[in-house]
Amino acid sequence: MSALLTDEQIASFERDGFIAVPDFMDSQTRASIRERAIDLVDNWEPSGENTVFTTEEQERVSNHEFLSSGGRIWCFFEEEAFDERGELRQAKELSINKIGHAQHDLDDVFERATYTSDLAQIAADIGMADALALQSMYIFKQPGIGGEVSCHQDGTFLYTDPLTVTGFWFAVEDATIDNGCLWAAPGGHKPPLRKVFRRVGSDDEGTVFEDLDETPLPDPAKDLVPLEVPAGTMVILNGKLPHWSDVNRSPVSRHAYTLHCISASATYPDWNWLQRPADMPLRRLDRSDRQ
């Protein structure tokens, strides 16, 4: 299959660390994964330990549900979903931050949306001909309570040696400044990775950040640009690119589907927080590992 990205698009990605590809995910696929995500939430029953997702103070949310989610489908609540008594302020379907982290391999609808020849070709266009689908998230960015995702680099949380993680972010709904679109630092992938997020000890003992470089991350208020994109757009993010999204105080949700891929030739350490069961190997986007 011939390249889908132009030379200009590839050059832009290499220069800025991100690129927006319009009209990548068709309306039928968007509708199918949105409907399936809502079904998954409806059918999901929380455990006794409600898991809240945040990129702030990750140690605080590294419980069993979080650390075991690499090989299953789990729902994570918004930080503002609960009142002072620990009760949901509104319906469960309006309280979920995201679904993660293996629906691309465990759910037929998400699998069909993920393992496509077009996505495999675009990964190859940017130098990832051996891309493995590592982690997926369906993000709701709920109206009114959609939480901020602090400025971070994906390589912090999904580290490989050499660093190869790449994010493929699909706008299921329009993403605007009002409802918490992505913001990114053009060229911000060129400085080093600042830190890594490691498991501590065995089993579910917890996690810790380890500093690698003292260079501060960009200030969202000064150094980032908004990536306002219409539904159907795919945004590709270099694993070292600092990016951020604000809270959603608007009455409109901002659904998105995110897939993180790594190179099959890279080493994925066993201290990464996200681990898959031994009987659930990663699969290639191009399906060349299918029997």
pLDDT, tens digit (0-9, with 9 covering 90-100), for 111-134: 999 999 999 999 999 999 999 999
Q: pLDDT value at position 54?
A: 54
Residue with tokens 């208020």: 221
Which neighbouring-strand residues pair with 196? 210
**Backbone angles phi and psi of 80, in degrees to 5:** -95, 15
CB-count exposure of residue 271 (10 Å: 0-12, 13-18, 19+): middle
Q: pLDDT value at position 49?
A: 56
Encode pLDDT of 213-240 as tens digits: 999 999 999 999 999 999 999 999 999 9
Residue 273 CA, distance from chain mean position: 14
**pLDDT grade for 48, boundaries at 50, 70 and 90:** low
SS3 (DSSP) at 98: strand
Q: Are the beta carbons of 33 and 257 closer than 8 angstroms?
A: yes
Q: pLDDT value at position 60?
A: 42
- Residue 46 DSSP code: -
**Backbone angles phi and psi of 204, in degrees to 5:** -115, 45
What are the angstrom distances between the C-alpha of 236 and each of 99, 208, 225, 258? 20, 27, 15, 10
Q: pLDDT value at position 45?
A: 86
Which neighbouring-strand residues pair with 82? 88
Percent of the chain exceeding pLDDT 70 equals: 92
Q: Are the beta carbons of 274 and 132 closer than 8 angstroms?
A: no
Alpha-carbon span 119 to 141, nearest angstrom: 24
Q: pLDDT value at position 63?
A: 63
What are the angstrom distances between the C-alpha of 130 and each of 68, 113, 264, 285? 26, 19, 6, 8
SS3 (DSSP) at 135: strand
Q: pLDDT value at position 57?
A: 45
Lowest mean pLDDT among 166-170, 177-181, 284-288: 284-288
**pLDDT grade for 268, boundaries at 50, 70 and 90:** very high
Q: Which residue ranges form the domains of the chain, and what is each CATH number?
A: 7-274 (2.60.120.620)
Q: pLDDT value at position 283?
A: 97
* 218-236 burial code (b ≥16 CB/10 A, e <16): bebeebbeebbbebbbbbb
Alpha-carbon span 81 to 97, nearest angstrom: 9
Q: pLDDT value at position 59?
A: 40
**pLDDT grade for 58, boundaries at 50, 70 and 90:** very low
Encode pLDDT of 19-32 as tens digits: 999 999 999 999 99
Q: Is the pLDDT of residue 204 over 90?
A: no
Q: Is the pLDDT of residue 190 over 60?
A: yes
Q: Is the pLDDT of residue 169 over 60?
A: yes
**Arithmetic mean of pLDDT, 35-48:** 90
**Arithmetic mean of pLDDT, 78-98:** 90
**Backbone angles phi and psi of 97, in degrees to 5:** -75, -50
**Arithmetic mean of pLDDT, 164-182:** 98
